[in-house]
């Protein structure tokens, strides 16, 4: 029984460690590297530690080489929908992330503004 608990503890630690590594890569501004790494390790993209900011960052990376005219004509929403489909996040989950982000977001004020 003790061996079983040790194996579970090791498994949980490894999973947490993977999440931390993938979170750092996703936050680094190169989310495509995290996606390629996950694919190479056969980790479903859905299992990466996504949040609203990371999805928005991935959208920015995907449209970085678009011209202003392309953005005006096509808009960003089709890209967002394509990315959400690629990573396996539903519209409902996305909007829940959106609501959670805006529920916890606190804009800078004079009391907490620092340079």
pLDDT tens track, the chain, 115 positions: 565 545 455 555 455 567 888 899 999 888 999 999 999 988 899 999 999 999 988 888 888 888 888 888 888 888 888 888 999 999 899 889 888 888 876 666 655 555 4
Please report whether residue 39 resides in a domain. Answer: yes
Please report whether residue 22 resides in a domain. Answer: yes
Please report whether residue 42 resides in a domain. Answer: yes
Question: Does the predicted model carry a pTM greater than 0.85?
Answer: no
Please report whether residue 114 resides in a domain. Answer: no
Cα distances (angstroms) measured from residue 95 to each of 9, 17, 46, 84, 101: 33, 27, 16, 11, 10
Please report whether residue 115 resides in a domain. Answer: no
Structural domain total, the chain: 1
E strand or H helix at 29, and its extent? Answer: none
Domain coverage including residue 44: 2-104
Please report whether residue 32 resides in a domain. Answer: yes
Contact 38, 45 (CB under 8 A): yes
Please report whether residue 74 resides in a domain. Answer: yes
Q: Hunting for tokens 């040790």 — which residue is that?
A: 6
């Amino acid at each position: 029984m003790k061996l079983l608990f040790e194996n579970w503890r090791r498994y949980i630690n490894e999973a947490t460690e993977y999440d931390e590594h993938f979170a750092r890569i996703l936050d680094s501004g190169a989310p495509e590297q995290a996606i390629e790494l996950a694919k190479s390790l056969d980790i479903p993209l859905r299992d990466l530690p996504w949040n609203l900011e990371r999805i928005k960052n991935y959208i920015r990376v995907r449209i970085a080489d678009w011209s202003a005219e392309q953005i005006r004509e096509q808009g960003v929403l089709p890209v967002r929908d394509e990315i959400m489909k690629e990573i396996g996040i539903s519209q409902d989950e996305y909007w829940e992330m959106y609501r959670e982000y805006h529920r916890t977001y606190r804009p800078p004020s004079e009391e907490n503004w620092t340079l």
